[in-house]
Amino acid sequence: MKIMVIGSGGREHTLVWKIKKDDRETELFAVPGNGGIYEIAECIPAKTNHSEHIADLAIKNNINLTVVGPELPLAEGISDIFQQKGLKIFGPIKKAAKLEASKSFAKEFMKNNKIPTADFEITDSYDKGIQILERRVFPCVIKYDGLAAGKGVMVANNFDEAIDFLEKIYRDKIFGDKSNKVIIEDCLDGREISYLIFTDTVDFLPMVPAKDYKRVFDNDKGPNTGGMGCYSPPSLFNQELEKLIQKNIVFPTIKGLQKENIDYRGVLYFGLMITKKGPYVLEYNVRFGDPETQVILPRMESNLIEIMEAVTEQSLKKCSIRWSKMKSLCVILASAGYPGKYETDKEIKGLKEIENLDVILFHAGTKRENGKILTAGGRVLSITAMGNTFPEARDKVYKAADIIDFEGKHYRKDIGLE
């Protein structure tokens, strides 16, 4: 079997690792891949937003299944193009991907289907945004409507912070100008968790939950990032909470997709806030999370390939899924300056020294050049470990994090301590 994974981050390295673990005979390709994926898949240097070209690559290489990692190709309709060409792809079509590509669409979807979410208002201009903020209670949450690599959300503690973020969106255009909408909503109080499912629109299979750390510094200080670490399962999670999540959120979402004639085949990610009143949806993502994937898939004992194929064939009801009871935890090693400006091309040392440690190293922003592994992004490496307890997993991860070195290396020291 030939499988192609689209993307270049830690999530995609984890997908490639899991697929190879499940079937050693699978021939793997990655577009474009990274310095770590290179070791187990043929990396093809193509841009992930060139969907027609990627479809041609799938035909040329006789690919049996393509798996989409990042959100942008899905938002731009790569799955539609593959389906039109008779190619099998794991990932929702463009219409379904709007659940992540447009936060205003997602909020209206939740409202129409009575899915618990924070009260909100939508603005399409700076001036209208000011008017909304003048009658808002602080803190409030401001969300850019379009895709923003996990950096389009701000919790504004006061009017001045809110105005500053609106100016960056509308006047500085820090996220571009593909969308002029901004969502301004109530700030929910509680604890966040990530809850992901496989779904083919008819049925779903839940994954084990995870807890992501979005802020760049310890104690949740600093700006939002794509994620600085993760662990699974969250300490507050139990069967009672899961039943509530499925009853109030997952089932209404699936029924809403069916009602609105949205064919959804892939992973659906629920970013949840667990409040005193129960779980609320903060956001939908239409793909595997990053770094959630790095702690979820190592706990997966079932065959990922079989489940992804069942999703594409809309036969998920025939599948079941098994999970390890062990704990998993990962820490992201980032470049200095991330999520702002950062330098690349720094040599990464210590990779050989951790090979005998009981950790799994997933590459993200790396590249291979002249026999060396160099930094090539903001989030550089993800170190994952399993353990019977979180302290056991933490000790393994941080031992490896101390050994690996590159100029400007930065990581949080408090992952899994709550």
Segment 289-329, tens digit of pLDDT: 999 999 999 999 999 999 999 999 999 999 999 999 999 99
Q: Where are the alpha helices (DSSP H) in 50-113?
A: 51-60, 71-75, 78-84, 94-101, 103-112
How would you write the pLDDT of the chain (418 residues) with one tens digit per residue? 999 999 999 999 999 999 999 999 999 999 999 999 999 999 999 888 889 999 999 999 999 999 999 999 999 999 999 999 999 999 999 999 999 999 999 999 999 999 999 999 999 999 999 999 999 999 999 999 988 877 788 899 999 999 999 999 998 898 987 788 999 999 999 999 999 999 999 999 999 999 999 999 999 999 889 999 999 999 999 999 999 999 999 999 999 999 999 999 999 999 999 999 999 999 999 999 999 999 999 999 999 999 999 999 999 999 999 999 999 999 999 999 999 999 999 999 999 999 999 999 999 999 999 999 999 999 999 999 999 999 999 999 999 999 999 999 999 999 999 7
Contact 411, 228 (CB under 8 A): yes
The sign of the torsion formed by the CA atoms of 357, 360, 365, 370 equals: positive
pTM: 0.94
Residues 182 and 222 in one domain: no
- Number of folded domains that form the chain: 4
If you search the block for the tokens 């109080």, which residue do you land on? 189
Residues 129 and 158 in one domain: yes
* 81: CATH: 3.40.50.20
Residues 88 and 158 in one domain: no
Residues 150 and 235 in one domain: no
For 7, 205, 298, 307, the CA distances from 322, given in Å and listed in that order, are 26, 10, 12, 11
Residue 38 lies in a domain: yes
Residues 313 and 202 in one domain: yes
Domain containing 308: what range? 191-318
Residues 208 and 262 in one domain: yes
Residue 9 lies in a domain: yes
Residues 36 and 70 in one domain: yes
- Say what the pLDDT of residue 178 is: 78
Residue 340 lies in a domain: yes
Q: Report strand pairing: 266-275 vs 229-232.
A: unpaired
Count other C-beta atoms under 10 Å from residue 315's C-beta.
13
Q: 251: part of which helix (H) or strand (E)? A: helix 251-259
Q: Which residues contact 396 (CB under 8 A, 6 or more apart)?
A: 357, 358, 359, 385, 387
* 175: CATH: 3.30.1490.20
Q: Residue 147 is encoded by which pair of tokens?
A: 């895709």
Residues 15 and 78 in one domain: yes
37, 60, 94: which is the final residue of a domain?
A: 94
* 214: CATH: 3.30.470.20
β-bridge partners, 208: none
- Say what the pLDDT of residue 380 is: 98
269, 285, 318: which is the final residue of a domain?
A: 318
For 79, 150, 193, 415, the CA distances from 216, given in Å and listed in that order, are 33, 12, 17, 11
β-bridge partners, 386: 328
Residues 128 and 89 in one domain: no
318, 338, 354: which is the final residue of a domain?
A: 318
Residues 87 and 127 in one domain: no
Residues 214 and 269 in one domain: yes
Residues 195 and 302 in one domain: yes
Residue 103 lies in a domain: no
